[in-house]
Amino acid sequence: MNYYSLHKKSPDVSFQEAVVNGLAPDRGLYFPENITPLSKEFIENLDSYSNEEIAYEAIKQFVGNEIPDNTLKEIIKDTLSFDFPVVSIDDNTATLELFHGPTMAFKDVGARFMARCLGYFNRNNDNKVTVLVATSGDTGGAVAHGFLGVKGVEVVILYPSGKVSDIQEKQLTTLGQNITALEVDGVFDDCQDMVKTAFLDKDIERVLTSANSINIARWLPQMFYFFFAYKQVYKQHKEVVFSVPSGNFGNICAGIMAQKLGLPIKHFVASTNINDTVPNYLDKGVYEPKPSKATISNAMDVGNPSNFIRIQELFENDIEALKRTFSSYSFNDEETREAMKVIYDDSKYVSDPHGAVGYLGAKEYQKNNAGSLSIFLETAHPVKFLDVVESTLPVKVAIPEQIKEVLDKQKVATAISSYDELKKFLNSEKVTV
């Protein structure tokens, strides 16, 4: 399988090159040259297969022969060492819990898969790799944990100062070893822009790659969730709709990839907070990125979502074709808190603010589309947003063991405020790779 740049100004590359490069030289995101649907028989008998078998069938064409089958199966087994349950909320609504991994966020799967692929590619290589990643919240912790101790890989994480939760910050600033945190005076978009600029800076004196969802090895494994959810509900014989809390749009884009592989998903809802670039695009037909705004669903505070260009590619840049399968709605913090209350009052289910935005999108879609089963993604454990949850709901959230491990550790981060400072840091001896 080869990958091409969506800017169409760079040579095609292999899976390994796309993973190691992260971003094409023309600043374009990589995209697979072919998407071959899985067999109808396989889709119709998903409950006959384990999650590991499903994931292998979904991903193998995109890896090709660059990782041996047995090694790829071991990578998948190691990646999927936790559950992905669908929990009923009401007769027509359910949630897919994606927070049962080591950092209690949906990004654990992509981070673990990518870390193990990169570890394989780097197994006999003396050229060390620096994973440079921007985070709006959960990516940082998932990447830090996924790459912790991986031979030949150093991780540098940029996060916006004061715009991630306390627990999220602990998860990315306390691990040490090969993990370094840079606290940026700015918003997530500033962090993301710095990362993209560094990739193309020929004066950076090290090999860089990204573990954001711009990297295909972080993005593609997110397809697995949608297969696992469908496997649990398809015998209800209802059409299935997914409402995905969306910031950088990698997760919902991966869901559309699962649909292209043959998974019979009726519709996707991209549920956003007040960072409403995509809802506005669908409404007006003009794509106008804007500076991000801070909300209680901070992992979605993205004003220029990188992965939306991949969604446009999947629909050949035809906005009308996109609208037939894809809707997007925006909600503010007040609506988000009210949704958390409604979910709890109706079902005693405790949602985090991101899941609540997903619930709102599901309910908005249901207003004119009755009868389907809407599954919203619960992308992080409520404990990661403790202040918001406990100030909104009459609950005391128990602290899971994964979180207890980091609460008493000392934050270690270096403050920066410009790209020049990032470049100086990367070219200094502080990063030892």
Catalytic residue (one of 107, 170, 196, 231): 107
Angle formed at CA 410 by CA 407 and CA 411, multiple of 5 degrees: 95
Q: Where are the beta strands (DSSP E) in 58-128?
A: 86-90, 93-97
How far apart are the two ends of the chain, measured CA to CA in Å?
A: 30
Q: Distance from CA of residue 202 to its chain's centroid?
A: 28
Helix, coil or strand: residue 2: strand
DSSP characters for 329-359?
EE--HHHHHHHHHHHHHHH-----HHHHHHH
174: which strand partners? none
* Separation of alpha carbons 42 and 21, rounded Å: 33
DSSP characters for 130-169?
EEEEE-SSHHHHHHHHHHTT-TTEEEEEEEETT-S-HHHH
Task: Name the token pair of 107.
Answer: 């990004």
Count CB-CB contacts under 10 A for residue 242: 30
* Separation of alpha carbons 309 and 29, rounded Å: 8
Stretch (H or E) spanning 269: strand 265-272
Alpha-carbon distances, residue 239 vs 168, 203, 233, 377 (angstroms)? 35, 52, 10, 17
Q: DSSP character for 246?
A: -
Task: Name the token pair of 150.
Answer: 């991986």
Task: Name the token pair of 166.
Answer: 């306390």
Count CB-CB contacts under 10 A for residue 46: 20
Stretch (H or E) spanning 244: strand 240-245
Task: Name the token pair of 256.
Answer: 């559309």
**Nearest to 205, CA basis, from 139, 137, 127:** 127
Task: Name the token pair of 52.
Answer: 């590991």
* Separation of alpha carbons 197 and 112, rounded Å: 25
Active site (annotated) includes residue 107: yes
Q: DSSP character for 80?
A: T
Q: DSSP character for 224?
A: H
- Residues 111/142, Cβ–Cβ less than 8 Å: yes
Residues carrying an active site annotation: 107
